[in-house]
Amino acid sequence: MYTRLVQSRLGVTIEKEDEMHCLVSRANFLLKAIRHEAFTNTESEKEFVQIDPNDLYPEQWLEL
């Protein structure tokens, strides 16, 4: 809908990508690049989890 408008005003090319692939690959980047990005949350406590960048799976996501 806004693709042509953005392309013409900004002079950029917009390519359609798979949404889930982008989400997973960007989340994996964050888990590898930023310490304490992953955590578990129970009732009133948040506990950060050390992630091995060579073994990111399994992982579970929750979006609120």
Predicted local distance difference test score (pLDDT) of residue 57:
67
Residue range 3-54, pLDDT digits in tens: 999 999 999 999 999 998 998 888 888 878 877 777 666 777 777 767 777 7
Phi first, then psi, for residue 46 (nearest 5°) are: -120, 125
C-alpha span between 6 and 21 (Å, rounded): 23
Predicted local distance difference test score (pLDDT) of residue 34:
79
Predicted local distance difference test score (pLDDT) of residue 64:
46
Q: Is the peptide bond before 53 cis (omega within 30 degrees of 0)?
A: no
pLDDT, mean of residues 54-59: 67
Instruction: Locate the domains of the chain by residue range.
Output: 17-58
Global confidence as pTM: 0.49
Q: Please, which residues have CB within 8 angstroms of residue 56's CB and are 6 or more apart in sequence? A: 28, 31, 32
